Structure formats: structure tokens, C-alpha cells
Chain A
């Protein structure tokens, strides 16, 4: 599977972490009860005006009685951290972009073309879930190399595993690994896949202080090097500082007029 969009991607300037300024964006995720669906207001603090990149407009997702509404845009090669209280709809947003959650209305554009009509396995998206990122019954190496069509970047995968301290774990089964180790395996595979959009759902949650920083730095490095557009859900401010270019805080709208 190849993505024609990938060739159109403009490679952005690599910004080093220390010189980068964090631009805090604020977004409202609407929480509207069914009764007054028709009368919601959207806070458009930042108008989507990019031709390239990921553009999300009035994207409405129905979760049981709850309707979530999203508006945001990310330029190609940008790393956006998504924050917000639990239950505000961070994972739902990632699932909708990846195609695991059905959107009721709105648009989801990547490089100007609509993604909503595509099934999950046709979208240019690679996602790291909160759990079940590895097949438990095949080895770590098999997990890493699984799902590539054509050339498998085996060297890069193994180099990354060594870099993140997983050199000895490669031939083991996932069940023999700690939670943090498994998370890093998943992270490596997600990032090194060919898709241009990377979605990470709390990728560092189970890591200790040191490996956390290491993994975060590696993530930014790889994303920037390969021009990935990356959305990262996290609770930790330090992850944001190390990895992201900008931050989006999802908020539950209190007034639903």
C-alpha cells in the first residue's frame, strides 16, 4: 500500500526541541445533549486555513447520548499535543481520524482530500492504541515487522529497538515483556510505518522517568526526520514540552445553548 499524498508532503524545517516555542491552542469540544443538538456554538479560535495538512471541520461524533464536535487543523509535519480532562473525547478524536469511530457529519481532510469515506485500512494513518498494540502470540520481532508491504525497514526497526533499550527483547514473546517495554515496541512500529499521519494515544504512560524522556525525544526526532504529522494524546506536561510543536486543550463546553 502506498500513499500518493506522501510524495506531495513538503518536508518542513527540522526544529530542535530547545528553540521551539510552544504555542498553546485552545479548542472546545462540544458536549451537547440530544435535546438541543441543533443549537450548538463552535469556538473557532483558530480558523482552519491551510491547504495542506490535516483539516477537521465541524466533525461531529455521536457517543451514545453524547455528541462531540471537533474543529482543528494541523499543518503537514507538525506535532500537536492534545490535552484535556478524562472523558473529554481525546481518544475518540484519534479513533475518528483513524477510522475506528464513525463520524456523523463534518469533514476530515488530508492534503485536501476527504478521509471520512475511507475504511480504516485505507487511511494514511498509523495509530498507537492505549492497549492491545501487540499480538501476544507472536514474537516481538514478528510484531515489529508485521503489516509492511514491500520492503520491511528491518534495519531501522532493530536500530530503533536497540536505541530504546530493547535489544535483548526482540526475540522474546510479548508476554515476557514489561508494560513499558511493550509500549516502546508498539511506539517503534507505529512511527516507522509508511503512513504520514501518526496518532499516539498516551504512548509514554507506562514508562519510567528516564525511558520516558528518551522515548519522547526519539519520537520527535523520527517524526521530524520523516516529516510525519503527529497527534499525541498525553496527560503529562513534560511530554508536551519535549515532543510537541503546539498544544490543543480540548474542553467540555459547559453551556450548550
Chain B
């Protein structure tokens, strides 16, 4: 129960801070401020557009992936999709600036008026981050169409358009809605992308406005009001999503194809071209980093800063993930026993308590805690403690989503047998360990990757003297030192890839496979 105490205590502190008792208070007049209304509109607009465009682009790509199983590198492509979804956002931002910024590689080909900063850049980044996710989910949904559907369509001589409407559409329709809501929430809570590519007050989101109110204006009341606004909106969308159902977002459809319609030659070519284009598109921001690095001034480059930041990031991410894992483990124990004793209602309450940080975006919790702690403690020396704990708290829902089904499955299958065999606690752990190890490793690695990319919590609790790798990238990009930013980005990316590789080659740890088995995570904030 200690774990529940920790989780509830932290949120309680944050909301105590948000209620505003001394310096800050909720200011309803702000809701009529034209600036606040403008950023609210912009937040909704950019999330809506990001979701819509991500899905519009994802549909043809998902069809390509599904209908052309013989395409070379299809499995690698699906993994690349996963990577671009969990890639630290600032790596992408650096890549985009290198490609499409003022002196980007592609910029000369674009019109005179092209401006990456503002809605353009935000949309590009959000589509890049979320479209691959949609591709994975949709291609998987297409895989669920029974053979008979296709046979019937061919029998009835349906035109491609008709068969899309009659066969494919029903299969993807339900997940489309869910997917849109999911991407909408991710983009609504997006912080780093907007911070780096926003380009002025015209394209600010609520999440960034909270940060600015705290750090630019030191206007606690405004930060608090905005945090409530963000919480209310994100929370209601989340509730809506919970009604819509679950999204199996990590899973990869690598399954065998049984029966597929044959497409006319020209269409196959179109699919191939599209496939190559998307490959190029997904790789280009990463590839753009490489030539940019060449202009680093190697003599004056501060290697020490780079490597200490990298180590610091790694240490912070590992500690947060480990803490999150331990907390989740303890959070799950009472839930396991509710299954055993069939306490349905109690279980729902416990689960909500355990994963409630999903509803409250990182920035909201950070703001509340910050306002609470500021007059009370020395955040300079304890900031890192809060940084780790808050990150861990935000990671819990992800680990929870992956571990719980596996643990419950174990209990359902083996609880009686374990009792019957009179296993000692040690023997039980010995049996449980190999069973949950894959899920444990995959959820841990996911947590490490997410924590590695954290910008939101760091922006509030971090210390620029004590910079993490993403924050360093933001600093470099901020002072327009693109070469250094590219180098740091590449290092961060390599770190992520190395971690994935490491976890996959840990005995029993299959990042993708175990993910595909039982990973139903509803939401992901903190991107």
C-alpha cells in the first residue's frame, strides 16, 4: 500500500498546489482574455489537424503494407514506425530544422513564403510522430478482415472503391475514431514540438502557455488557471476515449497473410512508389542530421557537456523507469488479490488510482507540484528528486498496461496449481519470473525510452546547469547551433536504438513480440 500512498500523495500535492492557497489562485477572468482564447483555439486546431492528416496519410500506407506482403523490408518498416513513434521529439525537431529550416536542405526547393516555424512545423512534426502509429494499427485492422469478405467482394465483382467501402471501411472504421482521439490527445499534450517550432505567441498551445506563464511571467495564477483548463480538456477527451474502447497500439501485425485480392499492375506500382516514398520520408529527418554534423567545430566542441548530459539522461531515465517499475509492481499486488476475491468494484477504484496520471498531463502535474513546493523547499537541490519521481509517476500507466494482463493471466492459469503444489514464496517467484520477464523487460525499456525523451517535466524542475540530452538539444537548437544540435540528437537517437537492441537481446526480452501479445495501453501523455 506504500505505492498507493506515494502515487496519491504526489497527485494530492500537485492538486493542492493547483487549488492555489497562497500566492496563486484560479482566475476565471483569464478565460475571457483574447490571448487565452486564441491559444485554446490553436491547441484544438493543431491537434485536430494533426490527427486528421496523420490518419488520412496513414490509410493508403497501411493498405500498401497490408496488400503487398512481398514488399522488401516490410518488417523493418513496421519497426521503424514504432521507432518514430517513441523517438525523442527534439531529435525530430532538429532533423526537421536541418531539412526545412531557413537554410535547410530542401528549403530552396520550396516557395519563398515557406516558414517552418508555426503551424507548418508543428503539423509536420506531429504527423511524423503519429502517422506511423496509425499505419501500424490500421494495417493490423486490415489483417483482421476474414478471407470470406474478400472472396465475396470478388464474387460480386465489386469495384476497388466499392470493395474499399464494403470490405475495408467497416474493418477500420471503429479503430479510426479511437485512433483519432488518441492522436488528438497526444498532440494536445504536446510540449517539446510546440516549444521548439511554435515561433511566437501566434502558435502557442495551452501546454506551452503554462510553461511560459511560470517561467516567463512568473504568473502563478495564470499558470494555475491554464493548467486547470488543460486538465479539464485533456481529461474529458480521455474519458471519451475510455468509452470508445481500447487501442492496441504497440502491437505489430507480423502475422502471415492468407488470402489477398490481386490488384492491377498499375496499382501495384503505385503502392511500391508510395512505399519507397514513405521510407524516404521517415528516414529523411534522421539522415539530414548526418551532413549537418560535418559543420561542427570539433576543436571548440564541448564533448564533456555532451557526454555528461547523455550519462545524466541515461541515469535519470533508468532511475525513473526502475522506480516506476517498482511502484507499478506494488500497485498491482492489491489488484491481483481483488481478482482472487472477486472484488469488482474495489478493483476498478484501485486501477483508476494506479493509472490516474494518464488523465493529468505532465505539465499540469508539474505545475501543481511546482507551485506547491516553490515556497517550501529548495528546488535547486531537491529538483532532481521531484524530476525522477514525477517522471516515474507518469510512466506508471504504460508499465501498468503491459504488466497487468500478464500477471493476471499468470494468476488465472496457475494460482490454484501453485497452492496445490504448496510452493514456497521463493519457488513462486522462481516460477513467476520467467513468465513475466518478457513483459517486464519490454515495459521497462518502453519506460526508459519515454523517460529519455522527457522535456516537459525537466522544463519545470530541471536546472540548465544540469542539463539532460534533450534539453541540451533544445539549448543548441535555441541558439541556432544546428550542427551541435544534430550531433546531440544523433547521440540521443543512437542511445535509444542501442537500448532497444539491448533489451531485445536480453534473454527472454522481445520488445516487439511481447508488446504484440498483451499490450493494451490506452493513452500516452508526456510526449
Contact = CB atoms under 8 A, between A and B. Distances in A.
Question: Is chain B in direct contact with chain A in the complex (CB below 8 A)?
Answer: yes
Interface of A: 1, 98-100, 119-122, 125-127, 129, 132-133, 135-138, 146-147, 149, 193
Interface centre among A125, A126, A129, A146 (most CB of B within 10 A): A146
A135 B417 contact: yes
Interface in B400-456: 413-414, 416-417, 419-424, 427, 431, 434-435
B420 A98 contact: yes
A146 B427 contact: yes
Given A1-B422, A147-B422, A132 B434 contact: no
23 contacts: A1-B422, A98-B420, A99-B419, A100-B416, A100-B419, A119-B419, A120-B416, A120-B419, A120-B420, A121-B419, A121-B423, A127-B420, A132-B414, A132-B416, A132-B417, A133-B417, A135-B435, A137-B434, A146-B427, A146-B431, A147-B422, A147-B423, A149-B424
Given A132-B417, A135-B435, 19 more contacts: A98-B420, A99-B419, A100-B419, A120-B416, A121-B419, A121-B422, A129-B416, A129-B420, A132-B413, A132-B416, A133-B417, A135-B414, A135-B417, A146-B421, A146-B423, A147-B422, A147-B427, A149-B422, A193-B421
Nearest to B508: A137
Contacts of A135: 414, 417, 431, 435
Contacts of A146: 421, 423, 427, 431
Contacts, number: 46
A125 B427 CA distance: 19
Contacts of B423: 121, 146-147
A153 to B, nearest CB: 14
Interface residues of B, number: 14
A197 B442 CA distance: 42
Contact of B435 (A125, A129, A137): A137
Nearest to A1: B422
Contacts of A127: 420
B434 to A, nearest CB: 5
B421 to A, nearest CB: 3
Contacts of B417: 129, 132-133, 135
Contacts of A147: 421-423, 427
B434 A138 contact: yes
B384 to A, nearest CB: 39
A154 to B, nearest CB: 16
Contacts of A1: 422
Contacts of A120: 416, 419-420
A146 to B, nearest CB: 6
Contacts of B414: 132, 135
Give the interface SS of chain A, mostly helix, strand, loop or mixed: loop
B413 to A, nearest CB: 5
Contacts of B435: 135, 137
Contacts of A193: 421
Contacts of B431: 135, 138, 146
Contacts of B427: 146-147
A56 B211 CA distance: 71
A45 B407 CA distance: 46
Nearest to B437: A137
Residue among A98, A129, A135, A138 facing the most chain B CB atoms (10 A cut-off): A135
A5 to B, nearest CB: 15
B385 to A, nearest CB: 38
A132 B435 CA distance: 14
B343 to A, nearest CB: 15
A215 to B, nearest CB: 20
A224 to B, nearest CB: 23
Contacts of A125: 420
A149 B427 CA distance: 10
Contacts of B419: 99-100, 119-121
A100 to B, nearest CB: 6
A129 B420 CA distance: 10
B423 to A, nearest CB: 5
Nearest to A135: B431
A142 B417 CA distance: 14
Nearest to B438: A137
A138 B421 CA distance: 15
Contacts of A98: 420
A28 B416 CA distance: 28
A121 to B, nearest CB: 5
Contacts of A119: 419
Among A1, A125, A137, max chain B CB count under 10 A is at A137
B205 to A, nearest CB: 46
Contacts of A100: 416, 419-420
B409 to A, nearest CB: 11
Contacts of B422: 1, 121-122, 147, 149
Nearest to A127: B420
Contacts of B416: 100, 120, 129, 132
A129 to B, nearest CB: 7
A125 B419 CA distance: 10
Interface string B159-202: 00000000000000000000000000000000000000000000
A147 B423 CA distance: 5
A136 to B, nearest CB: 8
B514 to A, nearest CB: 12
A155 to B, nearest CB: 20
A58 to B, nearest CB: 25
B431 to A, nearest CB: 6
A136 B417 CA distance: 12
Nearest to A95: B416
A121 B422 CA distance: 5
Nearest to A189: B421
A256 B18 CA distance: 64
B83 to A, nearest CB: 29
Q: Which 7 A-B pairs have the closest CB atoms?
A: A147-B421, A120-B419, A121-B419, A121-B422, A132-B413, A137-B434, A147-B423
A119 B419 CA distance: 9
A98 B424 CA distance: 18
Nearest to A120: B419
A99 B421 CA distance: 12
B342 to A, nearest CB: 11
A138 B434 CA distance: 8
Nearest to A146: B421
Nearest to B413: A132
B425 to A, nearest CB: 11
A95 B434 CA distance: 28
A127 B416 CA distance: 10
A138 B413 CA distance: 14
A147 B422 CA distance: 6
A119 B431 CA distance: 21
A126 to B, nearest CB: 7
A122 B419 CA distance: 9
Nearest to A195: B422
B424 A126 contact: no
A65 B416 CA distance: 24
